[in-house]
Amino acid sequence: MNPPPRATRAGATEPLPASPQARDASLDQLCINTIRTLAMDAVQQADAGHPGTAMALAPLAYVLWQRHLRYNPANPDWVGRDRFVLSAGHACMLLYAVLYTPGVEATTGPLGQGVGNAVGMALAEAHLASLFNRPGHTIVDHWTYFVASDGDLMEGVSHEECSLAGHLKLGKLIGIYDDNRITIDGKTDLTFSDDTARRFESYGWHVERVADGNDLEALDAALAAARRVTDRPSLVIVRTHIAYGSPHKQDTPEAHGAPLGAEEVKLTKQRLGWPSLEPFHVPDESLAHWRRARDRGARGETEWQQRYDAYRTAHPELAGELERRLAGRLPEAWDADLPAFAPTDAQATRAAAGKVLSALAAKLPEVIGGSADLATSTNVVFKNGGDVAAGSWSARNIHFGVREHGMGAIMNGLALHGGVRPVGSTFLIFSDYMRPPIRLAALSRLPVIYVFTHDSIGLGEDGPTHQPIEQLAGLRAIPNFVVIRPADATEVVEAWRAAIRHAGGPVALVLTRQKVPVIDRARYAPANGLRLGAYVLADAPGGTPAVILMASGSEVELVLGAHQQLAAAGIAARVVSMPCMEFFASQPREYREAVLPPSVPARLAVEAAAPQPWYRWVGDHGAVLGLERFGASAPYQRIYREVGLTVENVVKRARELLE
């Protein structure tokens, strides 16, 4: 009997390969044990790693890759492929073994992150399918699978992500929970007594159970059943045994995070009936059987390409737009209609950013996103974009709820999928909740955009619990991460332009709650200097300063005021706006020295935040006027006076440097 057909979003069916009853059971076992021995050998040779989970999940991987997953090893970037995310990243040898080729979809690592990545991928699939599929032309139609461990489900971020996935009824999402009941410190009964099935059912997920992770028939049936349920996500709970086959380390914590040991590897291979004790032995029969995936994948891609060619003929404009978005190309004149701001338009940079986003949204339909329940404060709202909800996946406003951590991981999944450009927002102080996915976005160079508002003590009466101090320094310390803190509305325009153009990693726009003046660009340098990271905003007569004043964000107003007072006193000062240290650091030395001449050691940096990042720019003879204390609850003008962030104090400190 053949298994049930594969359901698709359009309601069509695609027959699955023959059931495991028609296969040679010994060949199946040989292919499974190939994964187990490769995992043992790789970790043993590296003298580090996690062999046990890969050994436990080998049957699951075999069934998934051979009978369910649609992919083409010859083209791992094929748009029509199914996605697979290994959230249990410590089992990476499992993924490397089954791929035997490029094709890793996501860098996960910290537990729980891959779950959110998969949710983001499933949401991207639903969004693009709703926008681009047409009757008779189902082009965007793939499943997203993830594997999670006990640890993934202990991390709170998995609750955030899976709750939202259930709420949105992402029916093309299938999770596999590796219930091996082992963690590094021992058995999970020391820390974990959840009823996982009931928890996921309460989230609105369909749940399947497999009592024996070595039962290929049961694994196949559970995955097929999950694929028949398309009105909600599915979780397949699989009971496995870590380091399966090891005589002494099966079901023990020792097999989780360390090599089995040379003698135990030998004994395990003998117990599994393995034909060789040589490391990395792959039997010819196993290799040939696994590599049947090449022909199967090539056929699948060819069939999909034929459907896509018909789609392109029937809907050329839609096909062109989909191709543009998947390639990450910007349309012509995408930034032609951005707003302009006059010196009389004093406003919070968060307010200006919302206006710029509205203009961008009209030209860049791939930009979607929202906030962690703060859209009315962060102004990340797509007017007339609709609200993403179950059955309304084509909308643009994603309501992440009070889930900063989950939001970050889901944004990474959206970006990894492609075809969308995710924007997420919250208060700067709450960026702490989402540091793991921010760091992974930077590590993976994902083009996500964060809008962080309420950027300093300038938020006022919400007090020190909400006033960020160390957050800017912490974010600037992340490699491959761009932090832009614009001084006014005119720099906000350029900040958005730079963020959209930057495709090599994540970007944070850090914005004020309080109003700031709009700099008169007829009097001072144009704001497009932002693209260089730092630029001379106001200079000394003849371009020869005695002291350099530099700042970012709302504190640029202070150094401009100090510049005027120093000029009136006959002291030559230069003002440098430095909205983005990362951009500035990447400029040629000649430009950096033109802005900050080595011949001018008297330099003062001013920022309402921890001072550490500025010492690179002020040098040994300069100073930083920042904050090394928490804020206070009061109107922001008073707080600025209390901590010495005033024009008068800037002038005083500048004079002290000159003395």
| Selected catalytic residue, list 125, 161, 208, 404 | 404
Q: What is the pLDDT of residue 220?
A: 98
The CATH number of the domain covering residues in 533-658: 3.40.50.920
Mean pLDDT, residues 457-462: 95
Q: Give 190's pLDDT tier (boundaries 50, 70, 90).
A: confident
Q: From residue 263, give the alpha-carbon distance in Å to each of 212, 266, 267.
A: 27, 5, 6
Tokens of 374: 């703060």
Q: What are phi and psi of 218, to 5 degrees?
A: -70, -40
Percent of the chain surpassing pLDDT 70: 97
Which residues have a Cβ under 8 Å from the Cβ of 328 and sit 6 or more positions away? Answer: 418, 447, 503
Mean pLDDT of 319-343: 97
Domain ranges of the chain: 25-300, 347-516, 533-658
Q: Which two tokens stand for residue 306?
A: 């034929």
Would the pLDDT of 264 be above 60?
yes
For residue 10, pLDDT over 80 is answered with no
What is d(CA 274, CA 36) in angstroms, rounded to the nearest whole number? 10
Per the listing, tokens 């793991």 go with 436
Mean pLDDT of 223-243: 98
Query: Which one, of 406, 473, 483, lies nearest residue 450 by Cα?
Result: 483
What is the model's pLDDT at position 24?
78
Residues 6+ apart with CB under 8 A from 644: 625
> How confident is the model over 550-583, as pLDDT tens digits?
999 999 999 999 999 999 999 999 999 999 999 9
- Give tens-digit pLDDT for 136-153: 999 999 999 999 999 999
Q: Please report which helix (H) or strand (E) contains residue 129, including its range.
A: helix 113-132
**25-300 is a CATH 3.40.50.970 domain:** yes
Q: Number of H helices and number of E strands within the chain?
A: 24, 22
Task: For residues 380 and 354, give the distance between their C-alpha atoms in angstroms, rounded to a whole number.
Answer: 6
Backbone conformation region of residue 610, classed left if phi is above 0, alpha if psi is from -120 to 50, else beta = beta
Element (H, E) at 318: helix 316-327
Confidence of residue 637 (pLDDT cuts 50, 70, 90): very high
What is the three-class DSSP state of 146?
Answer: strand
Query: Is the backbone of residue 384 left (phi > 0), alpha (psi -120 to 50) or beta?
Result: left
Q: What is the mean pLDDT of residues 60-79?
A: 97
pLDDT band at 344 (very low <50, low <70, confident <90, very high): very high
Quick one: which of 559, 603, 582 has its CA closest to 502?
A: 582
What phi and psi values does residue 153 have, to the nearest 5 degrees? -80, -10
Residue 17 pLDDT class (50, 70, 90 cuts)? low
Task: State both tokens at 618.
Answer: 């002020």
Do 141 and 8 meet the contact criterion of CB atoms below 8 Å apart? yes
- What gap in Å lies between CA 174 and CA 143, rounded to an integer? 7
Please tell me the predicted confidence (pLDDT) of residue 23. Answer: 52
Residue 67's nearest CA partner among 143, 136, 126, 133 is 143
> Is 5 a residue whose pLDDT tops 70?
no
| CA distance to 14, 41, 80, 134, 584, per residue, from 11 (Å) | 10, 44, 17, 13, 53
> What local confidence, expressed as pLDDT, does residue 184 receive?
82
Tokens 């643009």: give the residue. Answer: 396
What is the residue-averaged pLDDT of the chain? 95
- The rounded distance, in Å, linking the Cα atoms of 606 and 273 is 69
Examine the pLDDT at 182 and tell me if it is beyond 90.
no
Q: Which pLDDT belongs to residue 19? A: 52
Token duo for residue 308: 């896509």
Residue 539 CA to residue 575 CA, distance in Å, equals 6
Is the distance from CB of 429 to CB of 468 less than 8 angstroms? Answer: yes
| 57 phi, psi to nearest 5 deg | -90, 0
For residue 618, what is the enclosing H or E element? helix 615-618
**pLDDT score for 421:** 98
Distance CA 393, CA 131 (A): 9
CA distance 484 to 511: 9
- pTM value is 0.95
Checking if the pLDDT of 16 tops 60, the result is no
Q: How many CB atoms lie within 10 A of CB 126?
A: 25
208 a catalytic residue: no
Whether the predicted pLDDT of 268 surpasses 80: yes
Average pLDDT over residues 479-505: 98
Tokens standing for 242? 């870590």
What confidence score (pLDDT) does residue 198 get? 97
Residue 90, C-beta contacts closer than 8 angstroms, at least 6 positions apart: 49, 50, 53, 149, 256, 257
Residue 2: pLDDT band with limits 50, 70, 90: very low
Q: How far apart are the first and last CA of the chain?
A: 91
Residue carrying the six token digits 């709703």: 130
Selection from 493, 425, 476 nearest residue 454 by Cα: 425
Contact call for residues 225 and 209 (beta carbons, < 8 A)? no
**Tokens 């706006």 map to which residue?**
577
What is the band of 100 on the pLDDT scale with cuts at 50, 70, 90?
Answer: confident
* pLDDT for 490: 98
Task: Tell me how far CA of residue 525 lies from CA of 3, 418, 425, 566, 575, in angstroms.
Answer: 69, 37, 30, 19, 10
Q: Assess contact for 128 and 419: CB atoms under 8 A.
A: yes
Residue 309 predicted with pLDDT over 90: yes
Q: What's the whole-number mean pLDDT along residues 157-179?
A: 98
In angstroms, rounded to a whole number, what is the distance separating the alpha carbons of residues 194 and 636? Answer: 46
pLDDT at 134 over 70: yes
Residue 4 in 3-state DSSP?
coil
Is the CATH code 3.30.530.20 the one for domain 347-516? Answer: no
CB 543 within 8 Å of CB 491? no
